[in-house]
Amino acid sequence: MTWRVPLVDIDYGDAEAQAVLDVLANRWLTMGDVTMDFESQFAETVGAEYALATSNATAALHLACLSLGIGAGDEVIVPSLSFVATASAVLYTGASVRFADILGLDELTISPIDIEKQITPHTKAIIVMHYGGYPCRMPEIMDIADRHKLSVIEDAAHAPGASLNGKSLGIWGDVGCFSFFSNKNLAIGEGGMLVTDREDIAEQVKLLRSHAMTSLTWDRHQGHAYTYDVVDLGYNDRIDEIRSSLGLVQLKKLSANNARRKRIAEKYFQAFSGSALGLPFRKKHKNLHAETEINPSYHIFPVLLPEGMDRAAFMESLHASGVQTSIHYPPIHHFTYYRRMYPTTVLPESEEAARREVTLPLFPTMSDDQVSLVVETVLSAL
Ligand SMILES: *Cc1c(COP(=O)(O)O)cnc(C)c1O
């Protein structure tokens, strides 16, 4: 199937190709100085003390949980309207999750009120997910975390380059995790980044992402070490120089690409404002909350179909016109595995959003004609 408008496309050109060729010419493929450069430039971009690249964001989330001491007997509060990795990263550690509902159909991020309701004596942490690159209610969530002495992990997979009140998403909590999967705002195929201001977390993550070895192959290559000890049960969650080199090029494009995403989202908001579609985040997008200044990364464009409309037929009609759509997300607690573990979970707002949501194409290289085609096709399908 060749789409007239795919859901996403990458912004790749000669610079990415050259970056890979440079790595090949330098003859060092695994984690080394290109990765360190990517990490320090990413840290600077988000304003974090430490940034550590990983093989993907799922690994980063897992390492975040481990570094906060989360394990068997602990509970972590997570959203269900997210990608499954937000919850599975917790389960890997032997801890369990408690799902919290979203704020509502206008704002598809985790509800601070419901977070507080899910707290038990076993609660150790909260994972928030900045849906679509729109900020969660971080001031309220950090206040809850402070009062109950809980750690906060931000699943910022959608949110590179986004901020709330001038502070980047990913650095509000104890740890932030970004994804560089091929459909994300900063795309390198597979990759992730963990950011933190806490030295103890950074040290722990550095160890655990590389088998808990006390020296790296890179250090030994540099002549800094001859052998190593293993001081914990570690993992191999490392990135490599090829993908870090792609990350450096993509990082340079991030701010212009997010700005282009914003212009497309504004066109959509305008085109659909009088229609029957529900437009999550439209109010926040217009900064109706005077005291908050939000700068989303416009990772995806979600719309909500009118109550009772046949979603499959709607998506099929767009498909017939060559427009690809998707769903963000089937709620995690409805998946077979999670239903078995958490059969009594009920989340009315997440379930309704998940039932009615359709994601429209949004990517920085999308042409104005493609945007118009999506608008026309959607309006006629309604
Ligand atoms: C993509 C994504 C992840 C996982 O990222 P990977 O890099 O593919 O492991 C986690 N959470 C959310 C919300 C995502 O969109």
For residue range 71-109, list pLDDT tens digits in order. Answer: 999 999 999 999 999 999 999 999 999 999 999 999 999
CB within 8 Å of 198: residues ≥ 6 apart: 49, 50, 174, 175
Per-residue confidence at 288, pLDDT binned at 50, 70, 90?
very low
Per-residue confidence at 223, pLDDT binned at 50, 70, 90?
confident
Q: Which atom of ligand 1 is nearest to the CA of 129?
A: 13
Count, residues in the chain: 382
Q: Which atom of ligand 1 is nearest to the CA of 60?
A: 9
Q: Which atom of ligand 1 is nearest to the CA of 180?
A: 7
What's the pLDDT tens digit per position in 230-265? 999 999 999 999 999 999 999 999 999 999 999 999
Q: What is the pLDDT of residue 215?
A: 80
Q: What is the pLDDT of residue 222?
A: 80
Which residue among 88, 92, 181 has the greatest number of ligand 1 atoms within 8 angstroms of its CB, and so is best to mutate? 181
Is 14 in contact with 246 (CB distance < 8 Å)?
Answer: no
Q: Any residues with Cβ below 6 Å from ligand 1, and which?
A: 56-58, 82-83, 85-86, 129, 155, 157-158, 179, 181, 192
What's the pLDDT tens digit per position in 144-194? 999 999 999 999 999 999 999 999 999 999 999 999 999 999 999 999 999
Q: How many Å lie between the centroid of ligand 1 and the Cα of residue 382?
A: 31
Distance separating alpha carbons of residues 228 and 102, to the nearest angstrom? 46
Q: What is the pLDDT of residue 37?
A: 98
Q: What is the pLDDT of residue 284?
A: 60
CB within 8 Å of 304: residues ≥ 6 apart: 105, 277, 278, 279, 280, 353, 356, 357, 358
Q: How many Å lie between the centroid of ligand 1 and the Cα of residue 148?
A: 28
Mean pLDDT of the chain: 96
Judged against a pLDDT cut of 70, whether residue 291 lies above it is answered with no
- pTM of the complete model: 0.97
Half-sphere exposure of 181 (CA within 13 A, CB side): 18
Right CATH number for 14-381 from 3.40.640.10, 3.30.70.1140, 1.10.3720.10, 3.40.50.1000? Answer: 3.40.640.10
Judged against a pLDDT cut of 60, whether residue 289 lies above it is answered with no
Which residue among 80, 83, 153 has the greatest number of ligand 1 atoms within 8 angstroms of its CB, and so is best to mutate? 83
What's the pLDDT tens digit per position in 260-272? 999 999 999 999 9
- Of the chain, the percentage scoring pLDDT greater than 90 comes to 93
Domain ranges of the chain: 14-381
Whether the CA torsion 41, 45, 50, 55 is positive or negative: it is negative
Nearest to 88 by CA among 54, 38, 50, 127: 127
Q: Given 124, 149, 184, 206, which residue is catalytic?
A: 184
Q: How many Å lie between the centroid of ligand 1 and the Cα of residue 23?
A: 26
CA-nearest residue for atom 5, ligand 1, is 57
- 184 is known as an active-site residue: yes
Distance separating alpha carbons of residues 90 and 95, to the nearest angstrom? 6
Per-residue confidence at 290, pLDDT binned at 50, 70, 90?
low
